[in-house]
Amino acid sequence: MMKCRICKGDSYVSEILQVCVDCIRNKSESSYYVENAHYKIREKFNLPINPPKSQGGIPCGLCSNECQLINKEVGYCGVRQNLNGRLIPNGEYGILYKYLDPLPTNCCASWFCSGSREIGKFNLAVFFYGCNFNCIFCQNSSHKNISYRFRINSNEFIDYVLKNERISCICYFGGSPEPHLPFAINVSEKIIRERSDIRICWEWNGCGNENLVRRAAEISLLSGGNVKFDLKAFTPELSIALSGVSNERAYENFEMIVNEFYHKREEPVITATTLLVPGYVDSIEIEKIAKFISDLNSEIPYSLLVFHPSFYMSDLPITPRRQVEECYNTAKKYLKNVNIGNKHLLNL
């Protein structure tokens, strides 16, 4: 770790960002360092520096980045592209890795979801390649290594699920499902028509197309699954610093799902998590997020996740216990159901 390049303070400062959270919030010269950090990461993985907005390009529309792609151009997510006037991947196939995770599992909703306790059954974990964010602390950065050898068509995926009677839930994550929503929605609709015992869940950043997000939430509501939003920060400048793009759409979609679906089922259909990045995602951010959720419904489950060093923030420590306790107590002022995830890391 290092001193902040702007204020020279010695609070937690990651080498990739070079600036502290206070300077990011105050916008004082921090944009230069933020842009440079994301430029380095995007360049290394041969990804577009910013969401492409090519004149005459085809609008993608799957997420809030709203890329416009000319022929052979790739979107910000690194997976969606214009191939001879047709945007791919689409509802016909996905680029993913899947594996069976025995229940009970440690998914982010396991502390309240009854489905996670079905002993002897499996969660089918579906890891999508590509992401509409560029999180510098990414816990699953392998999603950037996009390869078509992980391509699977919709019929093959559906057959795989329907033939295994021990699969009782499907969780889409990654990366993030947004670039693959047409595929995920297509296969999920067909699966739950054949198998009423399979829950469909989503773990995403939440910045998908509003109509697709609504349909995905409907599928979770009907199947008994849930939708998990990773609300990474509340302050816009901090969200951009940590994830490369704005997460404003996530809060809009979160509110939409709560207003339209939360009252329709006794078990929660929506939940939120926030990773407690040392020195950056502090009690100030947590208070704003918790208040936002509480203003919608104070019963909504909220989980604070302990950070472990990863990707371009491997120079930061595990979240200090003091920060965890402070953030937890802050969230509890507003919300009735608050959880601490990754507790085992605090005992290392």
Q: What is the mean pLDDT of residues 107-134?
A: 90
Chain-wide mean pLDDT for the chain? 95
Q: Is the pLDDT of residue 27 over 70?
A: yes
Written as one letter, the residue type at 189 is E
- Whether residue 24 lies inside any domain: the answer is no
DSSP state letter for 53: B
Tokens encoding 213: 């997000």
- Full domain range(s) for residue 114: 86-347
- Whether residue 114 lies inside any domain: the answer is yes
- Whether residue 322 lies inside any domain: the answer is yes
Q: Could you report the per-residue pLDDT of 232-269, keeping only the tens digit for each?
A: 999 999 999 999 999 999 999 999 999 999 999 999 99
H/E run at residue 35: helix 30-44
Distance CA 304, CA 179 (A): 26
pLDDT, position 111:
84
Q: What b-and-e string marks burial along 39-74, b requiring 16 or more CB atoms within 10 Å of the CB?
A: eebbeeeebbeebbeeeebbebbbbbbbbbbeeebb
Question: Tokens 């929660």 identify what position?
Answer: 268
Q: What is the mean pLDDT of residues 260-282?
A: 96
Distance CA 307, CA 288 (A): 19
- Whether residue 41 lies inside any domain: the answer is no
- Whether residue 103 lies inside any domain: the answer is yes
Q: Is the pLDDT of residue 348 over 60?
A: no
Prediction pTM value: 0.96
Q: Could you report the per-residue pLDDT of 160-218, keeping only the tens digit for each?
A: 999 999 999 999 999 999 999 999 999 999 999 999 999 999 999 999 999 999 999 99
Per-residue confidence band for 109, with pLDDT thresholds at 50, 70 and 90: confident
Cβ–Cβ under 8 Å, residues 104 and 115: no
**Measured between alpha carbons, how far is residue 116 from residues 50, 109, 168, 196, 344 in Å?**
38, 8, 9, 16, 19
Q: Could you report the per-residue pLDDT of 35-65, keeping only the tens digit for each?
A: 999 999 999 999 999 999 999 999 999 999 9
Per-residue confidence band for 284, with pLDDT thresholds at 50, 70 and 90: very high
| Counted domains in the chain | 1
CATH number of domain containing 119: 3.20.20.70
Q: Is the pLDDT of residue 276 over 80?
A: yes
- Whether residue 236 lies inside any domain: the answer is yes
Cβ–Cβ under 8 Å, residues 6 and 25: no
- Whether residue 2 lies inside any domain: the answer is no
Distance CA 243, CA 240 (A): 5
Tokens encoding 321: 């216990």
Tokens encoding 37: 């950090």
pLDDT, position 1:
67
Cβ–Cβ under 8 Å, residues 312 and 136: yes
H/E run at residue 99: strand 93-102
Q: What b-and-e string marks burial along 253-266, b requiring 16 or more CB atoms within 10 Å of the CB?
A: bbeebbeebbeeee
pLDDT, position 123:
95
Question: Tokens 């910045």 identify what position?
Answer: 207
Question: Tokens 């303070």 identify what position?
Answer: 9
- Whether residue 212 lies inside any domain: the answer is yes
